[in-house]
Structure 1
Amino acid sequence: MSQPLPDSELVVATPERVSFDYQVAGLATRGIAQILDLLILFGVLAGVYFAAIAVGASGLDAVAYLIAILGSFLVIFGYHWTCEAFWSGQTIGKKVFRLRAVGDRGEPMTFVQAGIRNIVRLVDFLPYGYGVGLVVLFINGRGKRLGDLAAGTIVVKDSDYVWLWQLPGGRPSDPPAPPASQAVYAPATPAELFLRRLDPELRRFVTSYGRRRPELPPVLRAQLASQLQASLQAAAPDVFNQYGPLAALDYLADLERTGRAQGAPDQ
């Protein structure tokens, strides 16, 4: 009797002659995931029974029995079937422990396959605690219980990515280190060097003034320049002394706008 390895590999070849490796889920991981699913089932069933008891307490005994029987049937059969059919082969337990039921060729499990493997689960569970399922799983040596054999499915470890080593040719060698960046930086223009020496607050003001200058009347422009006389005189003393504060402000705005330093005085 061959025993399945805890995490054996399943190699699947596609029609395009590309092979993918899947790790078959081990018995321990599947068992823990199943325990979590059973706890969830018991919790949902408890809610169904409490609802049935509440309905029965109101005198509707027939409705209470219907809720208990029909609700139990839907929960027991519907939980695994619905989750695996609409959640790409995963239940909550499988998702938590990163497992997934797929077809024998690695394809997504269909709605019919999900139904078959979960209807046959009743046989796997006999006589109790998945007794039949465990025996079949150890006999076939591929990590398949009776439901998997009937539906043509297998439980594998889930992977978010397809790595290069999964493709033919194995893991590629490390690529050579790329050459150092040859980025060429243009030298700062004389205007930029001149503007960098300005007080940051003054430069921000000059930039804002330059954008709005066409909209400002001459009177307001002169008023703004007069409020910055000390800063403008320190920034462009020759222009300030010869033409006044407004000319100095316009001079700095022109430098900021054009980025050219023609006529920039030596400070």
Structure 2
Amino acid sequence: MSEVVTGDAVVLEVRVAQFPSRTVAVLVDLTVQILVLVVGLISLQWFAAFTDPAMFAAVVIALLVLVMVVYPVTVETASRGRSLGKLLLGLRVVSDDGSPERFRQALFRGLASVVEIWGFFGAPALICALVSQKGKRLGDLFAGTIVISERVPRSRGDAIMMPPPLAAWAASLELSQLPEEVAAAARQYILRWRDLSPQIQYEMGMRIATQVAAYVSPAAPAGVPPHAYLSAVLAERRRRDEARLMRHATPQAPYGGAAPYGGPAPYGGPTPYGGPQPSGGPTPSGGPTPSGGPTPSGGPGPYGGPAPSGPPPAAAGHPAPPPPQGPPVAGPHAPGQETPPQETAGGFAPPQ
């Protein structure tokens, strides 16, 4: 992975194309160009019979310019950074700031390829790509471009999913001030979250969530566990980065269609990540519950952790007992009775 800084001073993570894939893409493009040259030269044999050598040489030079320069420049400009070989390998040429390749940049790349690829059989391009940290050849250095891979392999365990109850809140987040090192620490915590003990999960999560909350607004809803808060922030940040990077390449409505985080929102109304969720439909934890009903005690809660245990809901026709007045009094509890969780500062719920 490499980082590019956009014109809005936003850092994006992109996967730089590897040398083997770029080599195969170049070989595919060269094969197509050589075939066109061979067919063109064979077709010009009849023209040489009734014209003078100077005119024939001019036509041959024009054919070479068309195949070596005009063809790749036109294709890359029209396809926004893709040639035939790059299309087959899932590669794309973009500017150093992540924006689509422009005509001027494609022209610089095409002119440089005449020298470094056709003139010296690719030796300068090979040496420069091996020395460059981002695998740039001379044409990329002159044009200010970089070749990225759009087919990013991602294991299921590395995918940070959006908690559906936080989707609508995450859509309104201000993330431009979040430092990269804080986001990287939050990502490492989320990836290792299930391997930690419950106490370490909460203590480390509270520390990292407090650091993230100092740069992110608005504040988290009350009672949100730290790992769910961090998952929502990172998933929304990644969604915005991908949308910004591919906005010009593949235009699409950022909030239309199916929900990108795994399912509809559980609150009944339309959200930015999907269609409306009917009342009484499936909850994020799996089974259907009646509208407004609590999650069964002991079952998974809406954020992936265990749901807090508590008294069952009042039966139909009988009023619920009034809540206790005043601050909680510390003292012994009956066997099997648990103290209800208390909210902490910042909206994060303690471990259950």
Contact residue 69 and residue 114 of structure 2 kept, 8 A: no
List per-residue Cα deviations over 1:218-258 (Å, max 9, x = no partner): xxxxxxxxxxxxxxxxxxxxxxxxxxxxxxxxxxxxxxxxx
Q: Unpaired segments of 5 or more residues in structure 2?
A: 153-158, 162-174, 176-182, 191-230, 233-260, 263-283, 292-352
For 1:35 and 1:15, the matched residues in 2 are separated by 33
For 1:95 and 1:25, the matched residues in 2 are separated by 13
Q: Unpaired segments of 5 or more residues in structure 1?
A: 1-8, 184-267
1:157 alignment counterpart: 149
List per-residue Cα deviations over 1:146-195 (Å, max 9, x = no partner): 111111001000259xx978x96647378832651659xxxxxxxxxxxx
Question: What is the aligned counterpart of 2:107 among 112, 115, 124?
Answer: 115
For 2:110 and 2:137, the matched residues in 1 are separated by 11
For 1:84 and 1:95, the matched residues in 2 are separated by 10
For 1:181 and 1:11, the matched residues in 2 are separated by 44
Q: Aligned pair in 2 of structure 1 residues 133, 49: CA closer, same or farther (>3 Å)?
A: same
Pair 1:90-2:82 in alignment: yes
> SS where residue 123 of structure 1 aligns?
helix
Question: What is the aligned counterpart of 1:72 among 51, 64, 73?
Answer: 64
Contact residue 7 and residue 97 of structure 2 kept, 8 A: no
Q: Aligned pair in 2 of structure 1 residues 178, 50: CA closer, same or farther (>3 Å)?
A: same
Pair 1:132-2:113 in alignment: no
For 1:97 and 1:125, the matched residues in 2 are separated by 19
Contact residue 81 and residue 118 of structure 1 kept, 8 A: yes
Please identify the structure whose Cα radius of gyration is greater: 1
Q: What code does the residue aligned with 1:33 have?
A: A
Contact residue 116 and residue 150 of structure 1 kept, 8 A: yes
Q: Aligned pair in 2 of structure 1 residues 164, 82: CA closer, same or farther (>3 Å)?
A: farther
Count, aligned residues: 171
Pair 1:52-2:33 in alignment: no
Q: What code does the residue aligned with 1:177 have?
A: S
> SS where residue 26 of structure 2 aligns?
helix
Cα distance, 1:11 vs structure 2: 1.7
2:92 alignment counterpart: 100
Q: Aligned pair in 2 of structure 1 residues 56, 40: CA closer, same or farther (>3 Å)?
A: same
For 2:107 and 2:96, the matched residues in 1 are separated by 16
Q: What code does the residue aligned with 1:60 have?
A: T
- Structure 2 counterparts to residues 176-215 of structure 1, below 5 A: 176-177=284-285, 180=288
- Structure 2 counterparts to residues 199-238 of structure 1, below 5 A: none
1:20 alignment counterpart: 12
For 1:88 and 1:179, the matched residues in 2 are separated by 46
Q: Aligned pair in 2 of structure 1 residues 17, 83: CA closer, same or farther (>3 Å)?
A: same
**Per residue, is there more helix in 1 or in 2?**
1
List per-residue Cα deviations over 1:26-85 (Å, max 9, x = no partner): 11100001000011001111121122112224x234554433221111111112111111
For 1:73 and 1:13, the matched residues in 2 are separated by 35
For 2:7 and 2:119, the matched residues in 1 are separated by 41
Cα distance, 1:128 vs structure 2: 2.8
Q: What code does the residue aligned with 2:21 have?
A: T
Q: Aligned pair in 2 of structure 1 residues 65, 20: CA closer, same or farther (>3 Å)?
A: same
Q: Aligned pair in 2 of structure 1 residues 164, 91: CA closer, same or farther (>3 Å)?
A: farther
Contact residue 22 and residue 156 of structure 1 kept, 8 A: yes
> SS where residue 12 of structure 2 aligns?
strand
For 2:103 and 2:33, the matched residues in 1 are separated by 20
Report which structure shows greater RCO (CA 8 Å, sep ≥6).
1
For 2:28 and 2:89, the matched residues in 1 are separated by 10
> SS where residue 44 of structure 2 aligns?
helix
Q: CA RMSD in A?
A: 3.0
> SS where residue 143 of structure 1 aligns?
coil
List per-residue Cα deviations over 1:195-233 (Å, max 9, x = no partner): xxxxxxxxxxxxxxxxxxxxxxxxxxxxxxxxxxxxxxx
